[in-house]
Amino acid sequence: IFTEPILVVNQKAKIIELNNQYSVFNKDGQQIAAVNQVGQSAAKKAMRLLTSLDQFMTHKLEITDPAGRVMLRLTRPAKVFKSTVVVSDGNDQEIGRIVQDNVFGKIHFALQAGGHTYGAIKAENWRAWNFRIEDHTGQEVARITKTFEGIAKTLFTTADNYVVQIHTQLPQPLNSLVVASALSVDTALKQDSRGFG
């Protein structure tokens, strides 16, 4: 998953989005990972269903390989205004954080590790699913979109999928932070565009 230039993320449609589970494919349609929401109690599910308190709850995602091994763990602690997603490896060692930079106006997240900013994810248009991921110099290193150029279109329907294009092999920790932000944009990040976010 860390060396693929194109990732296709399937937003598995559920009638009520209580448990998020997304499949991640390469450009040829082979599943290479899954994004699973973990630690959802029945009470939490009911709260998500009945209220808008979802953004004030802690969210945990695990990105697993096809054998079920955890490659990345993402934790979004309960928040008041600014969202933070903690990115850890499969052994629970923190790699870095995806931190919401601004509360009002354009949504923008910094990719940070060890007190340094390695890049940013910028929402160019939430509705059209255009996100630009930059390195610390402002150079675009990846893009999240609903555009399916260079991909076997017959394998994917655009309604349920989005595409992550990583332009070049990136150094760590930026590589893991880019993959983590791209795979959590719908669960951990996009939800912050509602309500208080």
Answer whether residue 169 is part of any domain. yes
CA within 13 Å, CB half, 110: 15
**Residue 130, token pair as written in the block:** 């255009």
- Residue count of the chain, please give it: 197
Q: What is the pLDDT along the chain (197 residues), one digit of tens a residue?
A: 899 998 988 876 433 345 667 889 998 889 999 888 777 655 555 554 555 555 556 778 889 999 989 999 999 887 666 778 999 999 999 999 999 887 566 778 999 999 999 999 988 876 667 889 999 999 999 999 877 666 666 566 656 788 899 999 999 999 999 999 888 777 656 554 443 32
What integer pLDDT is reported at residue 98 of this predicted model?
A: 93
What integer pLDDT is reported at residue 17 of this predicted model?
A: 46
CB crowding 151-163: b at 16 or more within 10 Å, else e: beeeebeeeebbb
What integer pLDDT is reported at residue 172 of this predicted model?
A: 95
Verify cis geometry, omega within 30 degrees of 0, for the bond prior to 173: yes
Total structural domains within the chain: 1
For residue 20, give its domain range.
6-193
What integer pLDDT is reported at residue 100 of this predicted model?
A: 85
Phi, psi of 36, rounded to the nearest 5 degrees: -120, 135
Indicate yes or no: pTM above 0.85.
Answer: no
Answer whether residue 18 is part of any domain. yes
Answer whether residue 138 is part of any domain. yes
Answer whether residue 1 is part of any domain. no
